[in-house]
Amino acid sequence: MSFDAKHFLKTVSEAPGVYRMLDDQGNVLYVGKAKRLKARLASYFRGALNTKTQALVARIADIQVTITRSETEALLLEQTLIKELRPPYNILLRDDKSYPYVFASDRHPYPALEFKRVRNKRNDGRYLGPYTSSNAVRESLALMQKIFRIRNCEDTVFAHRTRPCLQYQIGRCSAPCVDYISQEDYRRDLEHAVMCLEGKSEQVTNQLTAAMEAASHALDFEEAARLRDQVQHLRRLQERQVVDTDASDADIFALAERPGGLCVSVLTVRQGRMLGARHHTPENGLDLTPDELLGEFVSQYYLGQGRELPAEVITSHALPDNDILQAALSEHAGKRIRVAHQVRGYRAQWQQLAITNAEQYLGTQLANRSQLSKRFETLRSALSMEQAPHRLECFDISHSHGEATVASCVVFDQDGPVKSDYRRFNIEGVAAGDDYAAMRQALTRRFKRLQQEDGKRPDILLIDGGKGQLNMSREVLQELGVTDVRLIGVAKGTTRKAGLETLFLETVDNTLSLESGSPALHLIQHIRDEAHRFAITGHRQRRDKARRTSTLQDIPGVGPKRRRELLKFFGGLQGVRHATRDELARVPGISASLAASIHQALHG
C-alpha cells in the first residue's frame, strides 16, 4: 500500500525536529531536520521535485519524527543519526579526518573570521575548533558577521577597496577597508565574536548591556540602539539547548495514553547529547494505571532485555516501588543508578521533550486511516446502521464559575478531525453556571445556521453531559424540526475513569453498552476529549483576552526593579515579548512561576 501523505500530514507537528523516511522494509532512506516539521515534510509531496527527490519519495513507506526544542537541537540530532544510520540519500563524508576550523589572523590589522579545513602549523593566528558540522560553522560565521559586522572578504579584495561594498550598505560590515572603524573598535568586535564562538556569549552580553546603558546615559541613542540589537540577537543565540547542556547519560521514559492506544517513548541522552527517541506501543491487558504500566515497562526494558544502563533514568510518572526498582537496577548494573520523576533544569526539559514525542507519536498512530475505518465500522454495527456514519459532531461547555462561558463543536469524519469545521460559541445572556441554557444556546445557533445555509449536517450528534443535557438537546432538535440526526449522550462514570462512561441513545431510557476495549467506544471517547480540549482552550482565550494586551506594568509581581531587569536582560520590551518561559526564568529575580505568569500575560 502506497504512503498516504495527505493523511499523514494532518497529524504532523509544527514544532522543530528531525524526520526519518523509511522504505517498506523499515530501512532508513533519509534523515532530515526542519524548523517546522509540517511545512518541510509537506514540501516533498507538492510542487516540482528534481529526479532524485522524486525517486526518494516514491520509495517512502513511513515517516517517523522526533520533536526537538529548537532548530539547533534538530541539527545536532540530525548529524548524530546520519553518522549512526548512514542513509543512502544523505550526503555522507568519505572520512572523519577533515574537520572544519574558524581562523582569526594575528598579522592583519583588520582580521576576518575564516573557514578553514586544514590547520596551518605556523603560529600566525587563533584557530577555533575543530567542529563536527561544516554547515553549523558557516551558519555561526554568518551570524557573527550579522551581529558584530565582521568583514568576510578576501585579503586581496580588502587591500584594493576605495569605497564601502554592499555588505556595509546592508549593515553586515563596519567597512574597515576604508577606515570607517578604528582598529581598536574592530578588534573589540572581533574579540566579542570569538568569545561567542568559544561559548562565552553570556559574558559578551553583559559587556554589551553595560555599554548600552552607558551610551543611553550619554544620550548617544543611535549607538545604544545598535548595542540593543546586538543584545537581542545574542539572547536568541543563548537559547538553552537540551541536547548539549550537560555531560550526563540518561534515558527518559514518557507514557502517553488516550482512548484506544498508548505509547511509551524512550529518549536516549549520552554525554549530554540527545541520540534519538524510540516509540513502543505495549498492550495494557490488565488495565494497569499509567504509573504501574510504566514501572513494568522500565523493569522489562533493562532487566528483561539486558540493555546498558545509564547513570540516570527519568520517568514521566512517579513509579510505584521506585526505591525497589532503583536498587534492582543498581545491582544489575554494578553501579549506582538513579530513578527519578521529579526533576529540574535541563532534566525537566528532557522529560517534557519525551512527553511531547510520546503524545505526537500516539496522535499519529490513532489518526491512522485503517484504525479510524475500523472504529467507524464498529460504531455502525453497534448502532445497527446500514452505512457507517460520515460525520460526527460533539458539543461541550467550559467556564470558570460561570465566567467567560464557551461552547465547542468539533467535527470528525472517516479521515479523523475536520478542524476547518470546528466552531466555538461565546455564550451570552444566560445565568452564570447554567450549562443547560448554555448548551441550548449553542445548539440553537448551530442548527439554525445549518438550516439557513443548507450546510453539512452530522449523522450523529454527541453531547458531553448526563441525562439533563441529553433531554435538553433533544428538545432543541425537535423545536427546530431536525429529525435526521442521531443523538448520543456521553455521561462520565462515578469515578470519571475512561471506559466507565454511560452512553444514552436518543433517550435516557435507552443505554448503549460497549466494552471498554471497543473501537466504537474509543472513537466516542476521542471526539469527546477533543471537544473538551477545544472548549477549554476557547474559554481560556476568552478569559485572558484582556491580558494579551498587557504591558509589564499590568503584571502582578513585576515591580519597577523586575521590569528594569527584564528590559536590561532582553534589550527592550520587544525582546521580552519574544522570550520563552525558560528564557524569562533566567532573568535575575524571576522565578519559574513568575516567568510563566509573565509569558501568559504577554501572550494569553
Q: What is the CATH classification number for the domain harbouring 577?
A: 1.10.150.20
3-class SS of residue 190:
helix
**Domain carrying residue 60:** 5-85
Mean of the per-residue pLDDT values of the chain: 82
Residues 179 and 310 in one domain: no
Residues 300 and 254 in one domain: yes
Cell numbers at 227, concatenated: 548595542
Residues 568 and 588 in one domain: yes
Q: What are phi and psi of 277, to 5 degrees?
A: -130, 140
Cell numbers at 524, concatenated: 466516542
Which runs of E-coded beta strand occur in 271-371?
A: 273-280, 312-315, 338-340
Residues 398 and 533 in one domain: yes
Cα Rg of the chain (Å, integer):
29
Q: What angle do CA 469, 470, 472 make, to 5 degrees?
A: 65
User: What whole-number distance in Å separates Cα of residue 407 and Cα of residue 396?
Assistant: 6
pLDDT digits (tens, 9 = 90+) for 1-52: 578 888 888 888 888 889 999 998 889 999 888 888 999 999 898 877 777 7
Q: Which residue has the cell 450528534?
A: 461
User: What whole-number distance in Å separates Cα of residue 110 and Cα of residue 187?
Assistant: 7
Q: From 52, 85, 118, give the residue that closes a domain.
A: 85
Cell numbers at 309, concatenated: 544502563
Q: From 545, 561, 588, give the residue that closes a domain.
A: 545
Which amino acid is located at 226 in the chain?
A: R
DSSP secondary structure, 64-80, as one string: EEEE-SSHHHHHHHHHH
pLDDT digits (tens, 9 = 90+) for 287-306: 678 888 898 888 878 876 66
305 lies in some domain = yes
pLDDT digits (tens, 9 = 90+) for 237-288: 555 433 444 557 899 999 998 877 789 999 988 777 777 788 888 877 556 7
Residues 402 and 541 in one domain: yes
382 lies in some domain = no
Q: What is the pLDDT of residue 409?
A: 93
Which runs of E-coded beta strand occur in 74-225?
A: 101-105, 113-116, 125-128
pLDDT digits (tens, 9 = 90+) for 507-525: 888 888 888 778 888 888 8
- Treating both helix axes as pointing N-terminal to C-terminal, what angle do 201-217 and 183-197 enclose, rounded to 10 degrees? 140
pLDDT digits (tens, 9 = 90+) for 363-373: 887 777 667 88
Residues 404 and 541 in one domain: yes
Q: What is the pLDDT of residue 202?
A: 74
- Treating both helix axes as pointing N-terminal to C-terminal, what angle do 134-148 and 183-197 enclose, rounded to 10 degrees? 140
Q: Are strands 338-340 and 312-315 parallel, antiparallel or unpaired?
A: parallel
Residues 418 and 502 in one domain: yes
Give the total number of structural domains in the chain. Answer: 5
Residue 90, classified by CB atoms within 10 Å of its CB into exposed (0-12), middle (13-18) or buried (19+), is middle
Contact 153, 111 (CB under 8 A): no
Contact 457, 421 (CB under 8 A): no
CATH number at residue 271: 3.30.420
Q: From 545, 579, 595, give the residue that closes a domain.
A: 545
Kindly indicate the confidence band of residue 419, based on its pLDDT and cuts at 50, 70 and 90. Answer: confident
The whole-model pTM stands at 0.50
Which runs of E-coded beta strand occur in 479-595?
A: 486-491, 502-505, 511-512
Residues 318 and 400 in one domain: no
Residue 514: which of 524, 529, 506 has the closest Cα? 524
Residues 457 and 529 in one domain: yes
More confident residue, 112 or 499: 112
CATH number at residue 451: 3.30.420.340
Q: What angle do CA 203, 138, 47 make, to 5 degrees?
A: 125
Q: What is the mean pLDDT of residues 452-461?
A: 86
Residues 352 and 461 in one domain: no
Taking residue 124's Cβ as centre, other Cβ atoms within 10 Å add up to 11
Q: What is the pLDDT of residue 91?
A: 61
